[in-house]
Structure 1
Amino acid sequence: MSGQDIAVVVDPGVPEEVAWTFKANAPLLSRIKAGWRPRPGPERPSGTPFDTATLVGAPMLLGLAIIFIVAGSIRVAFLSFGVVMLLFMAKVLSPRAQPGDDHTEEQEIFEQARWYDGRYHLPEDFDPEALALMARTQRAVNSVLGSHVNAEGLLDEVRNAVLLPQQEWEIARLLAKLSALRAEHKALIARGVAPEVARAVQPLERALASSETAVVARVEALERYASHVADAERAYHARGQIEELRARLPRYEELVAESGADGFAVPEISRLADDAGQLEETLRRSVREAHEAFRYLDG
């Protein structure tokens, strides 16, 4: 994942459906952030000649229908009723923005983006250094949440699902703020500063540097956790492969016995049992280490 390929980061407190909408519509969110606004929908203005004709003509036709019914002209009465129904159907089916229209969908996303402003971050919210850290963060989080050992419950799947998105959001929030302050600081320095101001600027630069160091420490803690999970993942898959081989072992032993090659092959084959035991211990150790790293993340 390159810096430019990072996903939209959304505050875990945002409803899940809205969060997925934001992540699937990053280009539109970028346009909204740059000032884009949806055009008004294609609705028919009120008070058009068509609407007036409907409002005035329908009661007149209904009145005529009643008169014809009283007079015994049922056929003409039905015709009048038919014209009234056509007028109302035409009114209902007149062109309007439908719920499935692209415009309506964009309008909805625009309104959600305004409502949840400040609770999501886009790639353009980060400077190059922050983008690289954000990419590392998302790689670590995705590798843990997408692992088989997490899905199989060997890790704390529930706490992972809660804590890791929170960590990702907090890192994104800090990196976005750090990026904005660094941009302002660089713009100030670019204009040139007097020696007296330069002395005042130094503590600010140290604050920026120490803040970045603290965020980097968070990212590295996530990566350590992801590394332990990756070790457990490798042991998990290797254990499965060894178990599959052990299931086939009787057929190999039968072949060896029938071929008279016992002395040559049996010691090699029997090592499968030892390998399986070692991999089981490796898996348990890797999971324990992952749990230790998780506790460090959890503070």
Structure 2
Amino acid sequence: MQYVAVDPEVPAEIAELFRRNVSLLSRIRAGWTPEPEVAPSRLPQIGGAVAAIVLASSVFLAGGMHISVFITALLLFVVFIGHVVTRDPLETESTEQDVHRNARWYEGRYLLPEDFDAPAEELRERTRRAVDHVLRSQVNAAGMLDDARNSLMLPAQEWEIARLLAKLSALRGEHRDLAGDGAPEVAAAMEPLERALAASEAAVVARVEALERYAAHVAEAERAFLAHQRIELLRSRLPRYEELLAETGADAFAVPEIDHLARDAGQLEQALRASIRSAHEAFRYLDGPPPEGDK
């Protein structure tokens, strides 16, 4: 599936428009422009309305229409003509024109599949999966994580990584072109540049891996959260089981089993809290080292 990366500061409806029209954006990037739309003439509509009024007037003058009916029809015709004349011409704007207009306006704030080479695309997809997993998790929706910061920081991280990967892809492409036939002198001169590219890629990979570690902690918290919910549901049904055991004379069986269930619930709650703490630690790592005053 083709994917377009969009700056999170672009309005949500425009970002969604871009995501639905990736191939059209590629054509626009290549220089394609939509044919200008000519607004349909409103003269036939106005002329028809005027003709109808003239016809109605002649019928009225001939005595064939009651005056109240004539006035009502005349008012309706006037309202219709006003709507035709004042209708906003942008109502007829096509999707192609809409995409083209916004693509020009937000140039540089979206990235297309062709902006990434194969290694960069793999890293970008890993980033997207990690961010998507966190934002869609139930522990995030339940407010057990810093959901407000997640919703702001994670899309910003995803965009920043995509932007860096696009620059890295472009420089790698230029580097390959400059290398040419691999003459020894050229290769020697380009070695520092290759090291710079490798160091930059390693730095971006580290950011992606940090996001993936955070997503892994969130996944562990998610598993503990779902298990904890199920155990709590079972605990809520204990009175029914106790009642049944008492009625059947098997209530002596209940005590150790219920104690075991309570221990399971307590252990899962501790595991859930530990998972959430680990996720918070991983999230703080994404922010980078603390300021000097916070150490």
The TM-score bracket by the shorter chain reads 0.7 to 0.9
Moved more, 135-144 or 192-201: 192-201
- The aligned residue for residue 227 of structure 1 is 216
**Which letter does structure 2 place at the counterpart of 1:29?**
L
Q: 1:107 aligns with which of 64, 77, 97?
A: 97
**Which letter does structure 2 place at the counterpart of 1:187?**
D
Gaps of 5+ in 2: 63-73, 289-295
Q: 1:183 aligns with which of 173, 182, 205?
A: 173
**Which letter does structure 2 place at the counterpart of 1:174?**
L
Residue 254 of structure 1 deviates from its aligned partner by 2.4
Residue 21 of structure 1 deviates from its aligned partner by 1.8
Q: 1:259 aligns with which of 248, 260, 269?
A: 248
1:170 aligns with 2:160: yes
Aligned sequence identity (%): 61
Looking at structure 1, the residues matched to 2 and 281 of structure 2 have their Cα atoms a distance apart, in angstroms, of 28
**Which letter does structure 2 place at the counterpart of 1:145?**
L
- The aligned residue for residue 285 of structure 1 is 274
Looking at structure 1, the residues matched to 229 and 2 of structure 2 have their Cα atoms a distance apart, in angstroms, of 33
Looking at structure 2, the residues matched to 182 and 261 of structure 1 have their Cα atoms a distance apart, in angstroms, of 74
Looking at structure 1, the residues matched to 132 and 33 of structure 2 have their Cα atoms a distance apart, in angstroms, of 33
Deviations 1:84-120 (A, max 9, x none): x89x959948xx9772x5x622202101101111101
1:146 aligns with 2:136: yes
Looking at structure 1, the residues matched to 140 and 245 of structure 2 have their Cα atoms a distance apart, in angstroms, of 40
Looking at structure 2, the residues matched to 260 and 91 of structure 1 have their Cα atoms a distance apart, in angstroms, of 82
- The aligned residue for residue 265 of structure 2 is 276
- The aligned residue for residue 190 of structure 2 is 201
Residue 30 of structure 1 deviates from its aligned partner by 2.1
**Which letter does structure 1 place at the counterpart of 2:98?**
E
Q: 2:38 aligns with which of 42, 47, 54?
A: 42
Instruction: Show structure 1 runs of 4+ deviating over 6 A.
Output: none
Residue 37 of structure 1 deviates from its aligned partner by 1.1
Q: 1:297 aligns with which of 252, 268, 286?
A: 286
**Which letter does structure 2 place at the counterpart of 1:138?**
R
Deviations 1:235-282 (A, max 9, x none): 111111001000111221222333343454542332111111111111
Whether the aligned pair in 1 keeps the contact of 2:130 and 2:212 (CA below 8 Å) is yes
Q: 2:123 aligns with which of 113, 130, 133?
A: 133
Equivalent runs, 1:23-172 vs 2, <5 Å: 23-43=19-39, 89=81, 92=84, 99=91, 101=92, 104-172=94-162
Looking at structure 2, the residues matched to 90 and 222 of structure 1 have their Cα atoms a distance apart, in angstroms, of 57
Residue 45 of structure 1 deviates from its aligned partner by 8.5
1:244 aligns with 2:254: no
Whether the aligned pair in 1 keeps the contact of 2:2 and 2:22 (CA below 8 Å) is no
Q: CA RMSD in A?
A: 3.4
TM-score (norm: length of structure 2): 0.79
Residues 6 and 241 of structure 1, relative CA distance in 2, 3 Å threshold: farther
Residues 90 and 247 of structure 1, relative CA distance in 2, 3 Å threshold: closer
Looking at structure 2, the residues matched to 248 and 45 of structure 1 have their Cα atoms a distance apart, in angstroms, of 71
Looking at structure 2, the residues matched to 16 and 91 of structure 1 have their Cα atoms a distance apart, in angstroms, of 31
Looking at structure 1, the residues matched to 188 and 134 of structure 2 have their Cα atoms a distance apart, in angstroms, of 45
Looking at structure 2, the residues matched to 153 and 89 of structure 1 have their Cα atoms a distance apart, in angstroms, of 55
**Which letter does structure 1 place at the counterpart of 2:216?**
S
Q: What secondary structure sits across from 2:233 in the alignment?
A: helix
1:210 aligns with 2:199: yes
**Which letter does structure 2 place at the counterpart of 1:27?**
S
Q: What secondary structure sits across from 2:94 in the alignment?
A: helix
Residue 6 of structure 1 deviates from its aligned partner by 5.9
Q: What secondary structure sits across from 2:158 in the alignment?
A: helix
Looking at structure 1, the residues matched to 15 and 83 of structure 2 have their Cα atoms a distance apart, in angstroms, of 38
Moved more, 111-120 or 24-33: 24-33
**Which letter does structure 2 place at the counterpart of 1:109?**
V
Gaps of 5+ in 1: 66-73, 76-81
